[in-house]
Amino acid sequence: MGTHTPALRTVLVSVVLSLNILLLTACGGAGGGDTGSGTTGGTLPAAPAGVAATAGDGQVIISWNPVSGATAYNLYMASVDGVNISNYNALADGMKHPGVTSPFTHTNLTNGKTYYFVVTAVNAAGESPESTVGTATPSGASQALFKATGSMITARNSPTATLLGDGTVLIAGGVGSTDSSAVAVTELYRPATHTFIAAGVMLTGRYNHTATRLTDGSVLIVGGTNGSDLASAEVLIDQGIPDPPNTEGKVLFDWSVAPIGSMAAARSSHTATRLTNGTVLIVGGYDGHAALASAELYDPLTGTFSATGNMTTGRHAHTATLLANGTVLMAGGDAGSDVLASTELYDPGTGLFSATGSMAAARKFHTATLLTDGTVLMAGGDNGRAVLASAELYDPATGLFSATSSMPAARESHTATLLTDGTVLMAGGNAGSAFLASAELYQ
């Protein structure tokens, strides 16, 4: 009585399978998974990009780029490599943080232990695949370090960042990540809240340009490219008009072209430095054919450009930093055939350039920031083979460079801005494979 023939067993198995299929269909599929992993139709969001994990004392700050169409993000972590949506519960220190936002600070971690993080994006259709892994090892050691801050509204490569009189930072132009076109929109970074808000729109979308705050508080936008290298300039005048309360007090800006001339040469990836007398030194760049050694001065009083001395080496994608003694340090860049580690100094008194020491690493599309102690922070860039995370410090007293801590994420064509508290905001740029919306602080 307890034995079934092979034919009867086959019929019973078929009946059981059919019943299971009917039950699953009636229940809407196989449920019981983590929140956000099911689907209700539509398109799943893409996996978050630009994941960066920054170690602190007993904590790690994780940041990532926003994903179009995502309504929430989930963070998975463990203290062993290989964490993902399915296995985090089975791994040491494994856990899930649902519904988080970037940047997310994970506290109560063990110093000296390495942690691994992946992020997913969620929408009505379900949960995306995991991001690439971010890893960090918390440490109680006191040291200069980078930490994540809020992300920009628009991912962009080669923008400018200008510190304004109220301590906010104006991010202008760049290349958009969606269609690789020149961006005209701008946004403001607010250090008090570590957030970005939308600002005005430039008259001309441009990237690889310069933005220089003049003595009257206006901002001079010069050159760059939007498919063609530009000699044009425009001025941003801060009207100082508060927005309605629901915009949290952001300030309106009026982009207008003041009665100023154009440069003598079209330039992109050049530098612009406001000198102690209020004039602006425009140096080097690329004119569509070659790296330029020429330089010119902009006079805000007359709105005109005039020639000054030439550099010893033509270069573009370099940096220029006004030092405490009034000279200007030119560093690195691209000479056309080589990425440069060399530097030179401009003397406003003579209008001449002279060679000085060299950086430890050749760099182009890096940043250079004068710190409160008078040293200059060189960070990131591209050596012609790879995007760099390394950084070094220049000491004007000795003319020498020394190493400092590296950024969590390699980036080039980013921005670096000294904030009023002495920290340096690094934002955006290119990681080599993707544009970045992430930002971090050097302190």
DSSP code at position 90: G
Query: What is the structure's pLDDT at 150?
Result: 86
Inter-CA distances, 355 with 82, 296, 303, 312, 318, Å:
50, 19, 31, 7, 15
Mean pLDDT of each 10-residue bin along the chain, 443 residues long: 40 36 36 44 88 82 88 95 93 93 88 93 94 85 63 87 86 85 88 84 88 91 93 77 43 50 92 96 95 96 93 95 96 95 96 92 95 95 93 92 89 89 89 84 88
Q: Which of 238, 146, 227 is nearest to 186 (CA)?
A: 238
d(CA 338, CA 315): 10
Q: In a 10 Å sphere around its CB, with 0-12 CB exposed, 13-18 middle and 19+ buried, how is residue 425 labelled?
A: buried
Query: What is the structure's pLDDT at 374?
Result: 95
Q: CB neighbours (10 Å) of residue 129?
A: 14
* Cis peptide, bond prior to residue 396, ω within 30 of zero: no
- Can you tell me which residue has the tokens 């009867």? 8
Query: What is the structure's pLDDT at 240?
Result: 57
Q: Which of 416, 386, 414 is nearest to 155 (CA)?
A: 414
Q: Which domains does the chain have, with CATH numbers?
A: 52-148 (2.60.40.10), 149-434 (2.120.10.80)
Confirm whether pTM is higher than 0.85.
no
